[in-house]
């Protein structure tokens, strides 16, 4: 009588644990461990690494990959029209922009503090580029982000209202950690659009960060929102704890295509680049700490 002990014979039986392991790893959603475990095992055997370290290595690989996948998903959900970072941004081309402040903002502490950013300046000066870079940085640092033009946002809100799903959309817009509203003022808003947009800013007040870019100075915002009163209330919320990026200058695109440097002198910036409470037209007289701004 011979007892059937000893190593499992090779062939079909030997494959069973591997098949089971693959199945379980899939079930547990550990694709990196599934992909890497054999290779890492060979390396561990070669280097005489013990089991704990082997397992640690695998788990670390899975964690890193998972973070990368989550960040990629977040970037996808942000709906950036293009992905841009400050690596490709030439600060020398826009002297009015506070470089230190911009680099500080990329660290995203303002998002954690639920503060806002407003980038103001004429067309082609890199406002969208900077907003995209800040959005990307926020995604990389774990903050849910959504990028929209003011026009698209107003349209989506009006559509949602007509389809009786406004509350749901408003809840989504309220919960995102960073909302980027690009190109406020490029296209005039309808009365309803302006009011719905105002509601979004209002609902996000001190709940989440908002970045707004605009080609219009604050004085001209009433024309966009079709109401002095609405604009006053809006700026009151938006500019409480705000970082202003002054981006007036030559259009980068025009300068590139012209291939020359114009001798035009840049206008001195109108407002301090970093304000705790930017003055809005007709507002804030009651706040003695508000940065004064000539009207
Ligand atoms: P704005 O939103 O202010 O109208 P954009 O951000 O759309 O300007 O800039 C127009 C184009 O020029 C974009 O392709 C942008 O990446 C590029 N650009 C603008 N400013 C800079 C800069 N300082 N460095 C590098 N690229 C820039
Ligand atoms: Mg733009």
What's the rounded mean pLDDT across residues 80-89? 97
Q: Say if residues 149 and 132 touch (Cβ distance below 8 Å).
A: no
Ligand 1: nearest atom to the Cα of 247: 3
Q: Is the dihedral of CA 23, 24, 29, 30 positive or negative?
A: negative
* Contact present, 275 and 218 (Cβ < 8 Å): no
- Quick one: pLDDT band at residue 11, thresholds 50, 70, 90? low
In the chain, % helix, strand, coil (3-state, to 5) comes to 55, 10, 35
Band of pLDDT at residue 3, cut at 50, 70 and 90:
very low
pLDDT at 257: 77
Ligand nearest the Cα atom of residue 253 = 1
Task: Tell how far the Cα of 229 is from the centroid of ligand 2, in angstroms.
Answer: 27
Res 289 pLDDT > 50? no
Task: State which ligand 1 atom lies nearest to the alpha carbon of 88.
Answer: 25
Per residue in 107-158, pLDDT tens?
999 999 999 999 999 999 999 999 999 999 999 999 999 999 999 999 999 9
Q: What is residue 177's predicted lDDT score, i.e. its pLDDT?
A: 98
| Minimal-distance CA residue to ligand 1 atom 16 | 129
Ligand 2 centroid from CA 249, angstroms: 14
Give the model confidence (pLDDT) of 257-274 as tens digits: 776 555 555 544 444 444
Q: Which of 292, 87, 91, 77 is nearest to 176 (CA)?
A: 77
Which residues have C-beta atoms less than 6 Å from ligand 1?
84, 88-90, 93-94, 123-129, 252-253
Count of Cβ atoms closer than 10 Å to residue 81 Cβ: 11
Please tell me which residue, 88 or 13, carries the higher pLDDT value: 88
Which band of pLDDT confidence, cut at 50, 70 and 90, is reported for residue 13? Answer: low
- Residue of the nearest CA to atom 5 in ligand 1? 126
User: 166-175 and 150-162 helices cross at what angle (nearest 10)?
Assistant: 140
Ligand nearest to the CA of 182: 2
How does residue 2 score in pLDDT terms, banded at 50, 70 and 90?
A: very low
Q: What is the pTM of this model?
A: 0.80
Collapsing DSSP to helix, strand or coil, 142 comes out as coil
């Amino acid at each position: 009588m011979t007892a059937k002990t000893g190593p499992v014979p090779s062939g079909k039986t030997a494959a069973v644990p591997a098949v089971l392991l693959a199945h379980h790893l899939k079930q547990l959603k550990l694709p990196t461990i599934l992909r890497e475990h054999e290779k890492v095992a060979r390396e561990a055997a070669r280097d005489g690494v013990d089991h704990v370290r082997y397992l640690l290595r695998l788990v670390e690989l899975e964690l890193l990959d998972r973070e990368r996948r989550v960040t990629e998903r977040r970037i996808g959900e942000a709906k950036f029209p293009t992905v841009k970072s400050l690596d490709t941004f030439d600060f020398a081309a826009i002297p009015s922009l506070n470089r230190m402040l911009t680099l500080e903002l990329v660290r995203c502490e303002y998002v954690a503090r639920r503060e806002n950013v407003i980038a103001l300046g004429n067309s082609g000066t890199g406002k969208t580029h900077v907003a995209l870079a800040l959005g990307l940085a926020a995604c990389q640092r774990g903050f849910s982000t959504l990028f929209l033009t003011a026009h698209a946002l107003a349209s989506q809100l009006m559509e949602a209202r007509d389809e009786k799903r406004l509350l749901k959309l408003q809840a989504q817009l309220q919960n995102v950690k960073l909302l980027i509203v690009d190109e406020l003022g490029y296209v005039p808003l309808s009365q309803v659009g302006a009011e719905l947009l105002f509601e979004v800013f209002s609902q996000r007040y001190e709940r989440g960060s908002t970045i707004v870019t605009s080609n219009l100075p604050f004085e001209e915002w009433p024309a966009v929102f079709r109401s002095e009163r609405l604009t006053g209330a809006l700026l009151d919320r938006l500019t409480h704890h705000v970082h202003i990026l002054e981006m007036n200058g030559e259009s980068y695109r025009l300068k590139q295509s012209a291939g020359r440097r114009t001798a035009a002198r840049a206008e001195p910036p109108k407002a301090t680049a970093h304000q705790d409470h930017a003055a809005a037209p007709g507002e804030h007289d009651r706040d003695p700490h508000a940065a004064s701004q000539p009207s």
